[in-house]
């Protein structure tokens, strides 16, 4: 039974401070497949998304580019949408969180929470960058996770263990803006009293919704529920700081000059704003979808790293501001490439733009990713050799080949007209799988759906090999049989195309045009074309993936990062000091002798060497930009070097923290480490 449903679906909002890469595409392809399937079933289904535009990172990036934040985010949104559209992502609306609708909803929700007693102000101590003279947002403070002790974690949540915390809880914090050690400074902030929402959240996270078709939809996946129960155990949940201090790019909090909504408050409200923008444009009643007793469905597809925000903060925000909560939150894992984390140095941090610019068919990647996805929160791997072989075998060898092997005979011998196939056992076998495959799609078990579809394609190809239309065409008196066999094959191709349409929308559109049909619906998988139906001449639907295309893609992404490094300003090893330093200034510098315990090149950088040093009283890790002068870094092991021991720890891009500075001299376009007499020992002062 296919009872009509009213469904609103979102993907997590891409941040307006970076390019779209294949990791993003996993989520948006997963969402898009599900939405396209729901629409094929005849449901009223809308897919809304937007760029997440607020926060200090956007503000600083715009300043660096010499642009107003509004101008920068407009450019980024255009680029993001082009990438997603290039991969066939069919949003009903792709908007921006910097919108009048989002400002209105953010203020309304804040006022409703405040009226409901869920907002209070407190004077807090907040980390402040003394060099940049600004309070540091959570994501601009980094340090060691207070729970699992993973290094280089952001100030709001740990990407390793998933714990959320205050940035003041970080161990050995540092400013991601300047590298300086932040200081504590008082500021008034506004808090959403999440701790008072524990009972509701325990009920919601473990609950479910009965849909219009009578099926029960759990709000969370089992793995997600287990994680929420860890955070909700003993009824302990920290209140949530929803404000930030100027300077900040975002919406100012009503009646609080110089205070702004934290981006994680207005970002999910951006789902509502994008949908409201769509409703106003097409004449849909927005209120009917977000009122507390709404019989509509609301689903969020997200990555596992932002589960806490969507499964705790967001439902509580909606509940206590007088809105409906989500019907389901669907989290997925991360994408690895060839079994490893995506890497810029290896060229496997693949951007959407580089994939499209390289001329690779986006439906190859849509199919491969879908063939890896299920309803669990599991990481998936893009194995590049498997990608080539699976696409070529499944899509070209099994699926597209069916139409290619039958269409020519239909046109040459029968003027493109099909024969009656209503009694075909082959087609009945394919049609019998319609509801099973539909359930797989609906339950986000895409891998199982595609395995079934390709198994059916195998059945069809076995039918081809058993009946050999190319031989029937040569035999006298076999025209009727040839017509029958090829008509069955064309109908089999039609059924398989309908099954694959959520995953391969462009190929499905071309297949429908070839079959002289309107767009496929799910009902297309259970019907056959009538006798006398005329198909159009066949045009090739898909090429094979070539190894060179993949090799070129990896090379292009390596070149991109190398070009970025080359364009980046190189920090000089020595620059004259202006103004002149006094003796007192010099005495502030603590120069020490250190012994090189280990030295290696840094993957992803052409300039850096990573030193493990013994300073006598402790060991430290220091990065130095002298790789070009020392191509065999292992030969430096055992050498004595001079270190600025009281140099503030500094974040070196993505490579780690440099806990000091190794001194060197510049000349002849090279950098040279300073020599130390043989009698020097680690820890000795220099000067």
CA 100 to each of CA 236, 286, 572: distance values in angstroms, whole numbers, following the listed order: 36, 16, 46
Q: In 172-313, which ranges are continuous DSSP H helix?
A: 198-205, 222-232, 263-282, 287-290, 307-308
Q: Tell me how far apart the alpha carbons of residues 669 and 628 are, in angstroms, rounded to a whole number.
A: 10
Q: Which distant-in-sequence residues (6+ apart) come within 8 Å of 568 by Cβ?
A: none
Q: Could you tell me which residues are beta bridge partners of residue 619?
A: 614
For residue 484, give both structure tokens.
Answer: 């029958």
DSSP at 271? H
> Coil, strand or helix: which one is 527?
coil
Nearest to 165 by CA among 196, 137, 195, 138: 138
DSSP 132-178: TTEEPPGGGEEEE-TTT--SSEESSB-TTT--B--GGGSEEEEETTT
Between CA 69 and CA 57 the distance in angstroms is 10
Task: Answer yes or no: are the C-beta atoms of 87 and 352 closer than 8 Å.
Answer: yes
Q: Is 344 annotated as a binding residue?
A: yes
CA proximity to 321, closest of 129, 224, 427, 192: 192
State residue 632 phi and psi, 5-degree precision: -120, 80
- Which residue shows structure tokens 């106003």? 280
**Checking DSSP bridges between strand 609-614 and strand 591-601, what pairing results, if any?**
antiparallel
Is 224 in contact with 172 (CB distance < 8 Å)?
no
Q: Give the span between the Cα atoms of 390 and 366, in whole angstroms.
A: 12
Q: What angle do CA 11, 12, 15 make, to 5 degrees?
A: 135
Give the gyration radius of the chain's Cα atoms.
Answer: 30
**DSSP characters for 300-332?**
EEEEGGGHHIIIIIHHHHHHTTT-PPPSEEEEE
Exposure of 607 in the CB half-sphere (CA atoms within 13 A):
18
Let me know how long the chain is. 687
Q: Is 42 left (phi over 0), alpha (psi -120 to 50) or beta?
A: left
Neighbours of 363 (CB within 10 A): 21
136, 154 contact by CB (below 8 A): no
Burial of 292 (0-12, 13-18, 19+ CB in 10 A): exposed
Which spans in 542-611 are helix H? 547-567, 583-587
Helix, strand, coil percentages (3-state) for the chain, rounded to 5, are 45, 20, 35
- Could you report how far apart the first and last alpha carbons of the chain are, in Å? 85
Please, which residues have CB within 8 angstroms of residue 190's CB and are 6 or more apart in sequence? 119, 120, 121, 241, 242, 243, 253, 256, 259
Residue 118 is labelled as binding a ligand: no
Q: Is residue 49 marked as binding?
A: no
- 45 assigned ligand-binding residue: no
Task: List residues forming the annotated binding site.
Answer: 145, 148, 158, 161, 344
Task: List residues forming the annotated binding site for Zn(2+).
Answer: 145, 148, 158, 161
Task: List residues forming the annotated binding site for ATP.
Answer: 344
């Amino acid at each position: 039974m296919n009872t009509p449903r009213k469904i609103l679906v979102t993907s997590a909002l891409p941040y307006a401070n970076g390019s779209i890469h294949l990791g993003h595409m996993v989520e948006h392809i997963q969402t898009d497949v599900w939405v396209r399937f729901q629409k094929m079933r005849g449901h009223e289904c809308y897919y809304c998304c937007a760029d997440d535009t607020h926060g200090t990172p956007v503000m600083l990036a715009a300043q660096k580019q010499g642009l107003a934040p509004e101008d920068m985010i407009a450019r980024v949104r255009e680029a993001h949408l082009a990438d997603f559209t290039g991969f066939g992502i069919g949003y009903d609306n792709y908007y921006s969180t910097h919108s009048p609708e989002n400002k209105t909803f953010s203020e309304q929700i804040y006022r409703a929470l405040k009226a409901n007693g869920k907002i209070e102000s407190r004077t807090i101590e907040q980390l402040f960058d003394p060099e940049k003279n600004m309070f540091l947002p959570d994501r601009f403070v980094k340090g060691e996770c207070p729970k699992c002790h993973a290094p280089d974690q952001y100030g709001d949540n740990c990407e390793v263990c998933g714990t959320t915390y205050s940035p003041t809880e970080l161990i050995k914090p540092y400013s991601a803006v300047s590298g300086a050690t932040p200081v504590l400074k008082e500021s008034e902030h506004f808090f959403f009293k999440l701790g008072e929402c524990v009972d509701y959240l325990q009920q919601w996270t473990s609950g479910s919704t009965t849909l219009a078709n009578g099926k029960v939809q759990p709000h969370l996946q089992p793995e997600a529920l287990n994680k929420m129960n860890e955070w909700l155990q003993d009824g302990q949940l920290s209140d949530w700081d929803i404000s930030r201090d100027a300077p900040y790019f975002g919406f100012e909090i009503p009646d609080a000059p110089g205070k702004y909504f934290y981006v994680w408050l207005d970002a999910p409200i951006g789902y509502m704003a994008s949908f409201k923008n769509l409703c106003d444009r097409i004449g849909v009643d927005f209120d009917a979808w977000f009122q507390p007793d709404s019989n509509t469905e609301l689903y969020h597809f997200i990555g596992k790293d932002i589960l806490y925000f969507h499964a705790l903060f967001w439902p509580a925000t909606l509940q206590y501001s007088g809105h409906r909560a989500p019907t389901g939150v669907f989290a997925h894992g991360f994408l690895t490439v060839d079994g490893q984390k995506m890497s810029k140095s290896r060229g496997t941090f693949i951007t959407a733009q580089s994939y499209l610019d390289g001329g690779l068919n986006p439906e190859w990647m849509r199919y491969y990713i879908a063939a890896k996805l299920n309803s669990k929160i599991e990481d998936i791997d893009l194995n590049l050799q498997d990608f080539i072989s699976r696409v070529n075998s499944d899509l070209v060898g099994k699926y597209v080949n069916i139409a290619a092997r039958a269409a020519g005979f239909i046109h040459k011998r029968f003027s493109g007209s099909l024969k009656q196939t209503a009694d075909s056992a082959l087609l009945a076998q394919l049609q019998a799988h319609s509801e099973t495959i539909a359930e797989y799609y609906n339950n986000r078990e895409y891998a199982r759906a595609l395995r079934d579809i390709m198994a059916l394609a195998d059945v069809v190809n076995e039918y081809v090999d058993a009946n050999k239309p190319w031989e029937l065409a040569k035999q006298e008196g076999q025209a009727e049989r040839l017509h029958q066999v090829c008509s069955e094959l064309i109908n089999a191709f039609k059924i398989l195309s309908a099954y694959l349409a959520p995953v391969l929308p462009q190929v499905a559109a071309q297949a429908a045009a070839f079959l002289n049909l309107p767009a496929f619906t799910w009902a297309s998988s259970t019907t056959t074309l009538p006798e006398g139906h005329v198909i159009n001449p066949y045009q090739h639907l898909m090429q094979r993936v070539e190894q060179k295309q993949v090799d070129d893609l990896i090379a292009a992404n390596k070149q991109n990062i190398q070009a970025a490094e080359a364009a980046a300003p190189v920090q000089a090893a020595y620059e004259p000091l202006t103004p002149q330093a006094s003796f007192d200034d010099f005495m502030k510098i603590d120069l020490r002798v250190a012994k090189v315990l280990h030295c290696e090149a840094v993957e992803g950088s052409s300039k850096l060497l990573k030193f493990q040093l013994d300073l006598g009283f402790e060991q430290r890790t220091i990065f130095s930009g002298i790789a070009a002068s020392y191509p065999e870094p292992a030969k430096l092991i055992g050498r004595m070097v001079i270190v600025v021991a009281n140099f503030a720890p500094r974040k070196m891009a993505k490579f780690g923290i440099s806990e000091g500075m190794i001194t060197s001299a510049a000349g002849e376009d090279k950098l040279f480490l300073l020599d130390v007499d043989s009698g020097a020992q680690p820890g000795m002062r220099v000067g």
